[in-house]
Structure 1
Amino acid sequence: SISIFPENDSQTVSWLLHRLTLDSLQDADTLFTIELLSTQTRNIPTWLLPGRPVTLRYLLTYCCELYIPVTRRILRLLADHCFDCIIGSANAEKQRNRLLEFSSQEGRKMFEMYIQTPNLNLLDILFEFQCCRLPFIRLLEILPRLQPRSYTLINPVDESVSYKQDLSFIFTRVDLKYPISEADTGVIHRYPYRHHGICTGWLERIWFGVNQPDDYQKANFININSPIINVYLRRNLIQFSLREVISQPVIMIGAGSGIAPFISFIRQRKRDYLKDNTSTGDLWLIYGCRSPTTSLLFENELSDSLNSKILKHLCLCFSRDTVNSPSEKYALNEISSVLIEQACFPLKAHYVQECIFYKHSTNHKLSEHDIQLMNLVYERNAKIMICGEARQLAPEVFQSWIQLIAMRLHYEHTKTWCSYSDLSEENFKNAQEYLQSMRKAKRYQEDVWV
């Protein structure tokens, strides 16, 4: 995988610069140097480039995270820098008192209700409190480093060669949708000019700037003639790869851009097969996306992999186009005929966890697909690999495996298949222990993000 150093949106940087007092700087593009004046103060953070000539615009664009969570200490700092201003009906004294109230011990509950719970950031507060004019050096003291963002490559990097290599990865633009608050509700209004994630929004602007006419660049405040994206290769510390998995079956589970490492695995298996006709374990892919017509990635490559038997089994589900009966999958005429004929479309499954175990009633019984998955894990020592979102996808996939393994454990004990309602707490406990043992043996691996 790689880590990408993003940059903050130029419109946001310009807006923030107009909300600061520049003190001795002539403007935001004036070179200055940050130096440590006293040995008793803490060291200057490295991301502020101490001792090097730099501009404030450069620091805010490339070095500092701007959308930081607001603490009561930060609110107290902002209260000290509320000055008279002529912006609508803004009143410096009134705004200062309100900030002091939020930052006080007595205002803790108000802080939690209006700032902490809705996850307001620094720019939201500056947008609401128009009279706040923070000195730029005080701002730099509270801004953390702009962190690199990690992405999984879909083409393996050959570290043994010195020539240039293409790096390919997938990203999904993060759209931010905030509720619009009425002015009389007491809710603090958000900074209105942020619509996408920092890195994904920036990558999209680069992509469109390269692939679309010049008017897009002008409309989006960018100049992309030869875009530069700074990256570094990340070590695969969790060993999320097929290098040591040759004859062992692999069950790959991903949603959306989580398909990236598995496309890499499929390509690797194809190269190995073409190189020396290597016999390898079966590859199973369970993949979910929103719609077969708008968000099914690598459709042709998946079709070819099924045809060539590189991919043994493909299971697809769509969160917004559900297959409710066997005949309905043939209505998906916008996708490849190979996928329609050879892929599995679990009935009523919206998400990948439902392709593993679909339980919407206590009378749920195992399907042929369920039994195949179970046998792969239990009898053929299959490895399970998951890539996707950490907060919801990963734990729900884990719970689906617990439910499926619990059914198998019940069968081992009684030699009869049961419905979900017949399972005991002991079955679930043993199933969780079984999966934890798989984790320790690196048979259950996750490559997830927040």
Structure 2
Amino acid sequence: MVISRNFQGLFESLNETVVLSLPKLKENAIKINFTGSHEYKTVYKQEPLLPFAASEVFNAPIHRWRRLTALDENCKAAYEITFDVKGSNLDFRPGDTIGIIPQNSQSDVDNLLEHLNINDLADINYTISTDAGKKGVKVPPHIPVESTLRHILTYCVDLRGVLKKLFLLSLSMHTKDASEKRILEYFSSKEGSIAYTTHILNERICLLDILSIFTSCKPPIGLILEYLPRLLPRPYSIANSDHENSFIKVCFSVMDIGNNRKGVTTGWLEDIIIKHDNCDLEERMKNMNISNVETKIPIYIRKNINGFCLPESLDTPIILIGPGTGVSPFIGFLEERRNIQKKNPETKFGYAWLFFGCRNPKYDFIYEEELNNFLSNGVLNELTTSFSRCGNTESGYVQEAIKQNSEKLAKLILKGAHVYVCGDIKKMAPSVREAITECIATYGDEVNEPEEFIANMIKEKKYLLDIWN
């Protein structure tokens, strides 16, 4: 066996005499029977519900797209896609999100089928059953009881899903090479907990990686379907107003998740728009109309549980904090204010202050032109920018800019301003909350407990979050 260099040191350090404490493993109970029919159909015992659905699914064609960031190897690709939703039931307002129902790449599916030597079964209808002699055994609800393997592997299971220890142990039972088997058992064991976290979880190792590294591992397809999680829809903030109700815009960065892979949904969308673009690289930065593309993207409106929307009273001040693609819902907010302004020029709006951050204004200041237009027509009163890769700026991150404007921000918040934060849940959102709490602590003389004050704002939906992991 040739062990991947990622695991070479781990293998050499393993003592073969050590007895591993392994979890109890249940025997695979899913049975797949191929009918021999090529007549395609998909039947669920009970079709799984869409998370937070507020509408039916609509298969939306892509009307237009544009690249928002520069074509530079040091700059993450970000795009805006406009979906044509004419004739749909997708009613929305600024601040809402859509769910995009993704699919796994054809190459990933083909590689898995080839590794398991089941290419010839991929498009044959099957029926699924469970061992009648085993109690409590059920077919996972996201697995159709009738379909084809290609359909399931493309649309139903997350090939990039987290590998739990029981799954790794089950895979080890179908691994012929003794060294490979030993490493998989070690990851599954109590003794290998740190190695599991370091080498599997932190490195985002998925089933596809395991099968490419441990080449003698060839599990039955039933075992894979039993353990792989559901391929869930991905939420994206709507980046436009609903005044026309004919188009929905979203923007996204193409995620690099390591191991030479892009995000399931963002990589899929990028492949679609570039596949149908015959222009050179420079032309890709311009607006592209691809309404003739046959591919349609299944989308639906998600319930706005957090109430992430403009205040009912238009004269309420708003503080918008959205670095990177986190600015997208605020483009919808500001478009809405502009549309109201056009219809009723005498409308009095509350003060609108936007904090935006990116790496370098030359490369990834997305929506710069739109934001400047909002400033010029008074829809946006103040724009504060932060650039983390420019040494000549006052602040590198939005939380630093917030602290630099503490007094003015505190006064606005104490006058009833609503605060909106959109972006990363791990670093940005907590840092912003800490910065705003510090503002209140320093300049909110009448506030005795700043942290409690912010907590109450959240309860009263005056401090609103649209955050993701």
TM-score range, shorter chain: 0.7 to 0.9
**Structure 2 CA distance, aligned partners of 1:392 and 1:99?**
33
> Could you tell me which residue of structure 2 aligns to residue 339 of structure 1?
none
Q: 1:110: Cα distance to partner? A: 4.1
SS of residue paired to 1:167: strand
Residues 212-242 of structure 1 show CA distances to partners (whole Å, capped at 9, x for unaligned) of 3599xxxxxxxx9411100111121111111
Q: 1:391: Cα distance to partner? A: 0.6
> Could you tell me which residue of structure 2 aligns to residue 269 of structure 1?
337
Q: TM-score scaled by structure 1?
A: 0.75
User: Is contact 1:282–1:312 with CA below 8 Å preserved after alignment?
Assistant: yes
SS of residue paired to 2:389: coil
> Could you tell me which residue of structure 1 aligns to residue 138 of structure 2?
43
**Structure 2 CA distance, aligned partners of 1:300 and 1:5?**
31
Q: 1:147-158 to 2 correspondence within 5 Å?
A: 147-157=232-242
**Structure 1 CA distance, aligned partners of 2:151 and 2:398?**
43
1:304/1:156 Cα in 2 relative to 1: closer, same or farther (>3 Å)? closer
**Which of the residues 297, 300, 303 maps onto 1:229?**
297
Q: Does 1:202 align with 2:202?
A: no
Q: 1:285: Cα distance to partner? A: 0.7
> Could you tell me which residue of structure 2 aligns to residue 101 of structure 1?
186
Q: 1:45: Cα distance to partner? A: 2.7
> Could you tell me which residue of structure 2 aligns to residue 447 of structure 1?
466
User: Is contact 1:251–1:383 with CA below 8 Å preserved after alignment?
Assistant: yes
Q: Does 1:311 align with 2:380?
A: yes
Question: What amino acid sits opposite 1:259 in the alignment?
Answer: V
1:165/1:393 Cα in 2 relative to 1: closer, same or farther (>3 Å)? same
User: Is contact 1:247–1:281 with CA below 8 Å preserved after alignment?
Assistant: yes
Question: What amino acid sits opposite 1:246 in the alignment?
Answer: L
Q: 1:75: Cα distance to partner? A: 1.9
**Structure 1 CA distance, aligned partners of 2:202 and 2:247?**
43
Question: What amino acid sits opposite 1:125 in the alignment?
Answer: I
Residues 6-30 of structure 1 show CA distances to partners (whole Å, capped at 9, x for unaligned) of 11121111111122253xx833222
User: Is contact 1:47–1:145 with CA below 8 Å preserved after alignment?
Assistant: yes
> Could you tell me which residue of structure 2 aligns to residue 295 of structure 1?
364
> Could you tell me which residue of structure 1 aligns to residue 229 of structure 2?
144
1:265/1:104 Cα in 2 relative to 1: closer, same or farther (>3 Å)? closer
**Structure 1 CA distance, aligned partners of 2:106 and 2:418?**
45
Greater radius of gyration (CA)? 1
**Structure 2 CA distance, aligned partners of 1:401 and 1:323?**
24
> Could you tell me which residue of structure 2 aligns to residue 365 of structure 1?
none
Q: 1:44: Cα distance to partner? A: 2.1
Question: What amino acid sits opposite 2:421 in the alignment?
Answer: I
Q: Does 1:30 align with 2:66?
A: no
Q: Does 1:354 align with 2:400?
A: yes
**Structure 2 CA distance, aligned partners of 1:116 and 1:301?**
40
Q: TM-score scaled by structure 2?
A: 0.72
Q: 1:116: Cα distance to partner? A: 4.2
Q: 1:138: Cα distance to partner? A: 1.3
Q: Does 1:76 align with 2:169?
A: yes
Question: What amino acid sits opposite 2:255 in the alignment?
Answer: V
1:154/1:126 Cα in 2 relative to 1: closer, same or farther (>3 Å)? same
SS of residue paired to 1:76: helix
SS of residue paired to 1:244: coil
Question: What amino acid sits opposite 1:209 in the alignment?
Answer: K
Q: 1:19-418 to 2 correspondence within 5 Å?
A: 19-22=115-118, 26-36=120-130, 38=132, 40-50=135-145, 52=146, 54-83=147-176, 92-157=177-242, 165-177=246-258, 192=259, 194-212=260-278, 225-277=293-345, 278-324=347-393, 347=394, 349-358=395-404, 369-378=405-414, 380-409=415-444, 412=445
Higher percent of residues as helix = 1
Which of 1 and 2 has higher RCO (CA within 8 Å, sep 6+)? Answer: 2
Q: 1:68: Cα distance to partner? A: 2.0
User: Is contact 1:21–1:135 with CA below 8 Å preserved after alignment?
Assistant: no
User: Is contact 2:239–2:331 with CA below 8 Å preserved after alignment?
Assistant: yes
Question: What amino acid sits opposite 2:257 in the alignment?
Answer: L
Question: What amino acid sits opposite 1:62 in the alignment?
Answer: Y
Question: What amino acid sits opposite 2:436 in the alignment?
Answer: W
Question: What amino acid sits opposite 1:9 in the alignment?
Answer: S
1:93/1:253 Cα in 2 relative to 1: closer, same or farther (>3 Å)? same
**Structure 2 CA distance, aligned partners of 1:251 and 1:16?**
48
**Structure 1 CA distance, aligned partners of 2:303 and 2:369?**
30
SS of residue paired to 1:47: coil
User: Is contact 1:21–1:136 with CA below 8 Å preserved after alignment?
Assistant: no
> Could you tell me which residue of structure 2 aligns to residue 17 of structure 1?
113
Q: 1:447: Cα distance to partner? A: 0.8
1:246/1:119 Cα in 2 relative to 1: closer, same or farther (>3 Å)? same
1:168/1:106 Cα in 2 relative to 1: closer, same or farther (>3 Å)? closer
- Give ranges in structure 1 of 5+ residues lacking alignment: 84-91, 178-191, 216-223, 325-346, 359-368, 414-426
**Structure 1 CA distance, aligned partners of 2:132 and 2:280?**
50
SS of residue paired to 1:81: coil
Residues 252-299 of structure 1 show CA distances to partners (whole Å, capped at 9, x for unaligned) of 010111111111010101111111222121111111112212111222
User: Is contact 2:108–2:208 with CA below 8 Å preserved after alignment?
Assistant: no
Question: What amino acid sits opposite 2:411 in the alignment?
Answer: N
Question: What amino acid sits opposite 1:444 in the alignment?
Answer: Y
Question: What amino acid sits opposite 1:317 in the alignment?
Answer: S
Residues 28-87 of structure 1 show CA distances to partners (whole Å, capped at 9, x for unaligned) of 22222324563945332332222x3x221221111110112222211221121123xxxx
**Structure 1 CA distance, aligned partners of 2:191 and 2:304?**
48
Residues 88-146 of structure 1 show CA distances to partners (whole Å, capped at 9, x for unaligned) of xxxx1232233233333444454444434544322222222110111111111111110
Percent identical among aligned pairs is: 32
1:128/1:265 Cα in 2 relative to 1: closer, same or farther (>3 Å)? same
> Could you tell me which residue of structure 2 aligns to residue 5 of structure 1?
101
User: Is contact 2:159–2:208 with CA below 8 Å preserved after alignment?
Assistant: yes
Q: 1:301: Cα distance to partner? A: 1.5
**Structure 2 CA distance, aligned partners of 1:374 and 1:279?**
22
**Structure 2 CA distance, aligned partners of 1:114 and 1:175?**
18
